[in-house]
Amino acid sequence: MLIAVVIAATAMFFANRLTKKLAYEERKKVDVIQQALEMAVKQNEENLILASTIISSNETIPLINTDSKDSIINIINIDTLVSNNQKDREQHLIRVLAELKKMHPPIEISISDTEKQFIYYGESQLLKQLRYFPYLLLFILFLFLLIVATFINTSGRQIRDKVWVGMSKETAHQLGTPLTSLVAWLEYLKTTNIEKPALEEMQKDVFRLQLIADRFSKIGSVPQLEEEILQNRLKEIISYMQRRASKNVQFEIHSNKPEVLVVICGPLFDWVIENLIRNALDAMDGKGKISLQIRDEITQTVIDITDTGKGISPKNVKRVFNPGFSTKKRGWGLGLSLAKRIISEYHYGDIFVKKSELGKGTTFRIILKR
């Protein structure tokens, strides 16, 4: 960026200097034309030839020669083929004359002691292009910086994605070996006299570990989406989370239809809802209500997850989905970031904070397209 600023400043300095020099040269040319017109007034044959040669040598600078009453006498390098109508051409020349008056003060031609004429002149196309050159250069440099910034951002995101995917798959791989061993041990324990309730709880925990490993293995790959009844999926999640929550926390599910069909990847979708509910439980300190509101529409299904917790401060609302952002002392700041990725990239939907008030609670909204 510093190099780009230096290049832009240097280019603008030299372009401005060159523009002023070219403008000065054009002014000198107009002065010569003014002298030539004064010479032509003397009606000398040599003067007329010389004046005609000087005037015709100007092929770039637009000029309008007028009398003291602003009546146009002569025009040079101005397009008059704007219309076949004489009145339109006259109006066009009047507009051009007004523009030239704004650009430069007129050059006076002394015809006699009592009669004067004036030359109004503009800028050549080269000078106009040179004036716009610094702005064009700035635009190109801005575009260059934008491309570089986008490239760096994309490269960084790709690297982060590779790290995420690599860590996820490595985690699933590392969990696979002890899980296989645990499953074998459970099968062995079934043949012993161990208490059945204890064995069932172990079985649930092993199944849970298998589910977590399955979720990690799906990160970075294309998950298989299947049609499921949303209420059934949410009831299973709430049943699991309720056993691990305080008895003072209430769970509710409301829906505008008895059964809502959605196309999801069950294990990954469960992960998102569990993350949101776990965050809600942490925000409520063991007391409050978590409600899930389902609204099935023509083009989409909307899920609002509302808690009565501490709420999120306005400055943090836009940051909650950033990787590494967490307000918890032991938080890694990856849960909501992962939820965002699962909903947006794998389910082609959207997830965001619908509303949040400090001391009153937060509502997260998930939108799944039909």
> Which percentage of the chain shows pLDDT scores above 90?
23
* Digit-coded pLDDT (tens) for 276-325: 999 999 888 889 999 999 999 999 999 999 999 999 988 888 888 887 77
Q: Which residue has the higher pLDDT, 120 or 328?
A: 120
pTM for the predicted model, two decimal places? 0.54
Q: Is residue 368's pLDDT more than 60?
A: yes
pLDDT interval class at 3 (50, 70, 90): confident
pLDDT tens-digit series, residues 240-278: 888 888 889 999 999 999 999 999 988 889 989 998 999
Name residues whose C-beta falls within 8 Å of residue 74's C-beta, 6 or more positions apart in sequence.
63, 64, 65
**Better-scored residue on pLDDT, 331 or 6:** 6
Q: 109 is written with which tokens?
A: 């031609």
Given a cut of 80, whether residue 55 has pLDDT beyond it is: no
| Beta carbons within 8 Å of 30's beta carbon, 6+ residues apart | 61, 63, 107, 119, 121
pLDDT of residue 47: 52
- Mean pLDDT across the chain, nearest whole number? 81
Check residues 304 and 93 and name the one with the higher pLDDT: 304
- Residue 123 pLDDT greater than 60, yes or no: yes
Where exactly are the structural domains of the chain? 2-123, 224-369
Interior/surface letters 215-238, b for 16+ CB within 10 angstroms, e for the rest = bbbbbeeebebeebebbebbeebb
Given this model, what pLDDT does residue 238 score? 92
pLDDT reported for residue 253: 94
CA dist 84 to 34, 62, 64, 340, 368, Å? 31, 21, 20, 65, 63
**Please, is 135 exposed, middle or buried when counting C-beta atoms within 10 Å of its C-beta (0-12, 13-18, 19+)?**
exposed
Read off the amino acid at residue 263.
V
Average pLDDT in the 48-61 region? 60
Give whole-number Cα distances, 104 to 26, 76, 77, 130, in Å: 12, 16, 17, 18
CA 63 – CA 228 distance, rounded (Å): 79
Q: Which residue has the higher pLDDT, 20 or 38?
A: 20
More reliable by pLDDT, 157 or 202: 202
86: pLDDT strictly greater than 80: no
The strand pair at 261-264 and 226-229 is best described as antiparallel
pLDDT score recorded for residue 54: 57
Q: Which helix (H) or strand (E) holds 235?
A: helix 230-243
Strand partners, 227: 263
Residue-level pLDDT at 362: 94
Render pLDDT for 127-183 as a digit per residue (tens, 0 to 9): 777 777 777 877 888 888 888 888 888 887 777 767 766 777 777 767 777 888 888
> Looking at the domain 224-369, which fold is it?
Heat Shock Protein 90 (3.30.565)
Q: Are 236 and 292 in contact (CB under 8 A)?
A: no
